[in-house]
């Protein structure tokens, strides 16, 4: 099975329309959807009127994703079969700031961050959001991307 076929099994690749809440909930599962809603609520509460989430279709290889962006990318929600992944891209200055909080992140998040690939446009962290601790880590990492109103 090649990568495209594999992704068709884990990514939402039906092109017709962007998925709705019920589609996402069914696809990623009840537990993962709880985390999806927690991070979405965190963004709307702490960054009011900053982002307008936008569904993007990345073709059969990548499927649908929900991007939060102002002038530059903030994060992207990636609905995968029975899993919610959050994509955050860190530029050079942001990577230095992650270094200052790295010790406060869970061991699993540290490991994922360390093995994330750095490209010319930044370090691409695709983090599986599967526990309350990882939600906390994601909130810390997002605050590096953009300070929120409560900081």
CATH of the domain at 91: 3.90.1150
Q: Residue 82: left if φ>0, alpha if ψ -120 to 50, beta else—which one?
A: left
pLDDT of residue 113: 97
Q: Residue 121 belongs to what domain range?
A: 3-145
CB neighbours of residue 142 within 10 Å: 21
Task: Please write the tens of the pLDDT for every residue from 80-108.
Answer: 999 999 999 999 999 999 999 999 999 99
Residue 8, pLDDT score: 53
64 found inside a domain: yes
- Total structural domains in the chain? 1
Is residue 150 very low, low, confident or very high in pLDDT (cuts 50, 70, 90)? low
Asked whether residue 151 is assigned to any structural domain, the reply reads: no
Percentage of the chain lying above the pLDDT 70 cut: 92
Instruction: Let me know if residue 45 belongs to a domain.
Output: yes
Alpha helices in the chain (DSSP H): 3-10, 21-28, 30-46, 59-62, 92-101, 107-115, 132-145
Cβ-based burial of 96 (10 A; exposed 0-12, middle 13-18, buried ≥19): exposed
pLDDT in tens, 35-94: 999 999 999 999 998 999 999 999 888 899 999 999 889 999 999 999 999 999 999 999
**The pLDDT value given to residue 4:** 44
């Amino acid at each position: 099975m090649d990568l495209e076929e594999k992704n068709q099994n884990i990514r939402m690749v039906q092109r017709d329309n962007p998925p709705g809440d019920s589609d996402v909930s069914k696809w990623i599962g009840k537990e993962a959807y709880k985390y999806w809603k927690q991070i979405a609520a965190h963004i709307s509460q702490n960054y009011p009127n900053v982002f307008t989430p936008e569904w993007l279709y990345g073709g059969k290889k990548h499927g649908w994703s929900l991007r939060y962006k102002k002038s530059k990318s903030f994060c992207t929600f990636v609905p995968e079969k029975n899993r919610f992944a959050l994509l955050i891209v860190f530029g050079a200055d942001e990577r230095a700031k992650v270094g200052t909080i790295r010790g406060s992140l869970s061991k699993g998040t540290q490991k994922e961050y360390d093995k994330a690939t750095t490209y010319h446009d930044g370090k691409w962290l695709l983090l599986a959001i599967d526990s309350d601790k990882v939600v906390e880590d994601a909130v810390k990492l997002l605050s590096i991307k953009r300070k929120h109103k409560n900081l």
